Chains A and B, each alone.
Chain A
Amino acid sequence: MNHELTVRTRTTPAGPVIELAGVLDHHSAPDVRTVLPHLALSPGQQLVIDLDRLTFCDSTGITVLIAARNHALAAGASVVLTAVPDDVIRTFRLVGLERVFSIQPTSQAAAAAWTRPGPPSE
């Protein structure tokens, strides 16, 4: 059984993208947790978490996704999950999280949906 998780981050004009590939469970969750404080997030940006190649996500994995959400919200940014696998969606429904995260089919769609924050209003 392969318990490996690959965490890759990249930066786009809309904000950082974290790509998770493999198994996100209590063995691998710290790998994601350690990445979070190093993300450069400005207010109005969005943090995209791309789950396209995620094969498994347990409750600790979900905890890490929420930690990422908290991190983004604290920075005044939003968070978007993309390419969420079906069984992860099912788990999200089970734990009532499908309303907590905004979800997009791909990271490109997430980038397209992002609107640059306008100049501060009066």
Chain B
Amino acid sequence: MCRTDGNGKSGGSPPDSQPGDEQAMFSALLEDSAEDLYEHAPCGYLSTTLDGRIAKINRTLLDWLGYESSDLVGRRDFSDLLTVGGRLYHETHFGPLLRMQGTISGIALELKTADGDRLPVLVTSIIRTGSDGQPLLIRTTVFDARDRRTYEAELLRARQESDRERERLKRLNATLQKTLLPPTLVDVPGLDVAAYYHVASADEVGGDFYDLFPLASGTWGFFLGDVCGKGAAAAAVTSLARYTLRAAAVYDPDPAAVLANLNTVLNHEYNGQDPRFCTVIFGLLTPDGDEGGFQVTLASGGHPPALLMRSDGHADYLPTPGGQLIGVLPDADIATTSVRLDPGDTLFLHTDGLTEAHSVGADGRYGDEALLEFAQELAPTTARDTVAAIRDLLDTFGTGVDDDTAVLAFNVPRHSSEEQM
């Protein structure tokens, strides 16, 4: 049966030895290793009495901990090897669950080594019972979890790092967004003004903008618009649109001329594969007459029409037909319209983030009709109440608002005698 290859080697395992030979040697190795397997297993073994006193512990675990068997067996409890937190956990969860279920597995704990270091481990315990079913002792295996803990720490560190980056980006976006909006609206005597900007995502700068500013000769200019797209590229266009509108209004305040100017700038600046456009309403406010009214002249470049809420409770869109998206064509068609605001009247401008919000309306969006009904319910109202109502409305949409929304409202206050009525 036994064949040697004649190279005189013995005791080793010649490359061409019979399979029977290997098996015999392997089982021999297994047989005399029962004790060895316990002592030098790749995990720690520990047996304790039911009160937790250590009765037996293997070499592997002793080596990990830096103790000798005589330091621990019969002298220390398993819980003595735990950190303070671990001991608490052992008392309140581990022990009771083990007694209740007879077994508990995969519990992450930290053991204290002889020289005070901490060893992260995963612990599994089982209650050994006698033939009469009475519990006799607790057997515990202990797995070294240092690698796993390092991995977890690394994951956590990467997560924290990414959270910090995201936080930084959000702050940067918020700052950038603020520079695109007036810090406070100017005070127009005899006019109640309110505005609100709803940020849909803190991760991306939106492209909505508005402003209100004095022009010469007792006139105020205002605009509200929406640059198509999001992010830094859209913000750059927003910034360009804002200062172009303000500069153009000083040069020639006629609303159609102002928008024609912006159209030329955007059309020149951004053409080709990455065109940039905006929709915008630009208007002029001029006090009109002794009654406290204002004359409003509006020009629209493809922007959703303003809503006019009259003092008598009537509300409707103020059409600016024909106005074209700003920046598309070299010679955009821009429409102008005029309206007089009397005491109690409110003019409301918005961007389409509001009407395109996901809601229960037609085709799942809020829609122009729903907004009109909302305005009809609201009228007569004031600028502040309108903006407050819109904020509440946006709140009810919650995450359904997936685009930024800017709103701007003007109202000529009623005379104080009327208010008291």
- Chain B nearest CB: distance from A107 CB in Å? 24
Instruction: Tell me if A's interface is mostly helix, strand, loop or mixed.
Output: helix
Q: Does A53 contact B (CB under 8 A)?
A: no
**Separation in Å of the A103 CB from the closest CB of chain B?**
16
Q: Mark A34-68, 1 if CB is under 8 A from B, else 0.
A: 00110000000000000000011011101100110
Query: In the complex, are the beta carbons of B272 and A74 less than 8 A apart?
Result: yes
Interface pair B302/A95, CB less than 8 Å apart: yes
Indicate with 1 or 0, residue by residue over A15-46, a CB within 8 angstroms of chain B CB atoms.
00000000000100100010011000000000
Give the A-binding residues of B (Cβ under 8 A): 226, 228-230, 271-277, 279, 301-304, 322-325, 328-329, 332-333, 352, 356, 358, 363-365, 403
Q: Sorted from nearest, which 7 A-B pairs have the closest CB atoms?
A: A96-B324, A95-B302, A95-B325, A59-B228, A63-B228, A60-B229, A96-B302
Neighbouring A residues of B358 by C-beta, 8 Å: 1
Q: Would you call the interface of chain B mostly helix, strand, loop, or mixed? A: loop
Q: Which residue of B lies closest to A95 (CB)?
A: B302
Decide: A67 and B274 in contact? CB cutoff 8 A: yes
Whether A26 lies near B352 (C-beta < 8 A) is no
Q: Report Cα–Cα, A90/B365, bound state, in Å.
A: 14
Query: What are 12 A-B residue pairs whose CB atoms fall within 8 Å in the complex?
Result: A26-B230, A37-B273, A58-B352, A58-B356, A59-B279, A63-B228, A63-B277, A66-B277, A67-B275, A95-B279, A95-B325, A96-B323
Residues of A within 8 A of B328 (CB): 66, 97, 100
Least CB distance from B404 to A in Å reads: 11
CB pair B275 A95 closer than 8 Å: no
B229 touches A26 (CB 8 A): yes
Which residues in B have their C-beta under 8 angstroms from that of A1?
A: 358, 364
Given contacts A37-B273, A97-B325, list 5 more A-B pairs with CB under 8 A. A59-B226, A62-B277, A70-B275, A96-B323, A100-B329
A97 contact from B303, B324, B356, B365, Cβ within 8 A: B324
Assuming the contacts A26-B230, A95-B302, asked whether A70 and B325 have C-beta atoms less than 8 A apart, the reply is no
Query: Which of A63, A70, A100 contacts B229 (CB under 8 A)?
Result: A63
User: Cβ of B272 and Cβ of A70 under 8 Å apart?
Assistant: yes
CB neighbours (8 Å) of A33 from chain B are: 273-274
- Residues on the B chain within 8 Å of A55, using CB: 363
Shortest distance from the beta carbon of A39 to any chain B beta carbon, whole Å:
12
Is A94 an interface residue, CB under 8 A from the partner?
Answer: yes
B338 CB, min distance to chain A CBs, angstroms: 19
Q: Which of A36, A59, A87, A97 contacts B363 (CB 8 A)?
A: A87
> Which one of A29, A56, A70, A94 contacts B304 once the chains associate, using CB atoms below 8 Å?
A94
> Most chain-A CB neighbours within 10 Å: which of B226, B301, B324, B325?
B325
Q: In the assembly, what is the distance between CA of A29 and CA of B229, in Å?
A: 9
Q: Which residue of A lies closest to B399 (CB)?
A: A1
Binary B-proximity of A84-96 (CB < 8 A = 1, otherwise 0): 0001000000111
Inter-chain contacts of A70 with B (CB < 8 A) = 271-273, 275
- Kindly provide the distance from the CB of B11 to the nearest chain A CB, expressed in whole angstroms: 69
User: Do B272 and A96 touch (CB < 8 A)?
Assistant: no
Cα of A29 to Cα of B271 in the assembled complex, Å: 17
Q: How many angstroms between the C-alpha atoms of A94 and B325 in the bound complex?
A: 9
Task: Tell me, in angstroms, the Cα distance from A94 to B276 when the chains sit together.
Answer: 17
B277 CB contacts on chain A under 8 angstroms: 59, 62-63, 66
Residues of A within 8 A of B302 (CB): 94-97
CB distance from A51 to the nearest CB of B (A): 15
Contacts of A26 in B (CB 8 A): 229-230, 403
**Closest beta carbon of chain A to B335's beta carbon, Å:** 8
Given contacts A1-B358, A94-B302, contact A67 B324 (CB under 8 A): no
- Docked Cα-Cα span, A62 to B329, in Å, equals 14
Across-interface contacts of A94 in B (CB, < 8 A): 302, 304
Chain B residues lying within 8 Å of A36, measured Cβ to Cβ, are 273
Residues of chain A lying within 8 A (CB to CB) of residue B329: 100
Measured CB to CB, the closest approach of chain B to A38, in angstroms, equals 12
CA–CA, A56 to B365, complex, Å? 10
Closest residue of chain B to A59 (Cβ to Cβ) is: B228
**B273–A62 touching, CB < 8 Å:** no
Contact of A66 among B275, B279, B364, B403 (CB under 8 A): B275
Q: How far is the CA of A60 from the CA of B356 in the complex (A)?
A: 13
Give min CB distance, A49 to chain B, whole Å.
15
B215 to chain A, nearest CB (A): 26
Bound: A63/B234 CA distance, A: 12
How far does the Cβ of A60 sit from chain B's closest Cβ, in whole Å? 5
Q: Which residues from A are CB-within-8-Å of B352?
A: 58-59
A59: chain B residues within 8 A (beta carbon): 226, 228-229, 277, 279, 352
CB distance from B259 to the nearest CB of A (A): 12
Whole-angstrom CA separation of A59 from B276 in the bound complex = 10
Residues in chain A near residue B324, CB distance under 8 A: 95-97, 100
